[in-house]
Structure 1
Amino acid sequence: MGVTLRYFDGCPNWEVADQRLRSLADEVGFTLRYEQVESPEEAERLGFAGSPTVLVDGVDPFATGDEPTGLACRVYATDDGPQGSPGLGQLRAVLA
């Protein structure tokens, strides 16, 4: 399984997602790759739905189809309300 954390430096929420993903890497068995998005043009070309975006085998398991593209912080619906990163349980569920 390939897991990619797509982010941009202007949004600190990717660091929370990174910590959560690293805590699951050995448990679930995947290697985490990082992909930094550096410009609005690149964000548009990639269909970047905001930082952080987690891709599992190239697919965004949290996409609803309504996400705007661009260099922005992404908001996730979690059991604890809106947050800047998927919850640990949500990540575990899509990686299991």
Structure 2
Amino acid sequence: MPLMRVEMVTVPDCPNGPVLRERLALALVGRTDVELTEHVVDDPPEAERRGMHGSPTLLVDGRDPYAASGAAASVSCHLCRGADGRIRGAPSVEELRRVLGTPVTGGAGRAGQGRLAPIEGGLRAVQQAVMPSFAVPAGQMLAVALRP
């Protein structure tokens, strides 16, 4: 059986990188058919070469299952709207299991959401104050440009 290639692509110090890493670990428990790699990207040409649509980007066999059709590569913040309508910095464990073809065996704390990004104000404040006004379908990602 060929290995599934799963890549996590982040910008330096992305607060949602550890969140996605933790949720991937939970979603992949018991899987021996997955090769997981991580890449840190800080410039647009590298983002385009790697297929990064914001940080963190998840690539499954080279494809971003959460990117909107025709989305351009970018060094930006990658937010997604979960099935419950809330904006988060990474897909839930259940969403990852679905995308990775891992059987769902029950929640993993916080209803499968893992932990929240450890930020004071910052992204959490943006999520609460601004993001609910965006109409992003469940399971799709929203890229927000980062300031240099």
| Structure 1 and Structure 2 fold alike (TM over 0.5) | yes
- The equivalent residue for 2:62 is 58
Higher helix share: 1
1:75 aligns with 2:112: no
Asked whether the 8 Å contact 1:7–1:36 carries over to 2, the reply is yes
Q: Which shifted more, 58-67 or 48-57? A: 58-67
Deviation at 1:4, TM superposition (A): 0.5
What is the CA RMSD across the aligned residues, in angstroms?
Answer: 1.8
Say whether residues 1:91 and 2:96 are aligned partners: yes
For residue 26 of structure 2, the aligned residue among 14, 23, 27 is 23
CA drift of 1:13 comes to 0.8
| Normalised TM-score (structure 1) | 0.84
Q: Map Cα deviations across residues 13-35 of structure 1 (whole Å, 9 max, x no partner).
A: 11100111122233333221112
When Rg is computed on C-alpha atoms for both structures, the one with the higher figure is 2
Between 86-95 and 73-82, the greater mean CA deviation after superposition: 73-82
Match of 2:43 among 9, 30, 39: 39
Structure 2 residues without counterparts, runs of 5 or longer: 102-148
Kindly indicate whether the alpha-carbon contact (under 8 Å) linking 1:22 and 1:32 is maintained by their aligned counterparts in 2. Answer: no
Taking CA–CA contacts closer than 8 Å with sequence separation of 6 or more, which of the two structures ends up with the larger relative contact order?
A: 1
1:95 deviates by: 0.6
Q: Please name the residue that 1:13 is paired with.
A: 16
3-state SS of paired residue (1:23): helix
Structure 1's unaligned 5+ residue stretches are: none
- Distance in 1 (CA, whole Å) between partners of 2:69 and 2:13 is 23
The CA distance in 1 between the partners of 2:56 and 2:35, in whole Å, is 17
Identity of matched residues, %: 36
Q: Which moved more, 1:51-60 or 1:19-28?
A: 19-28
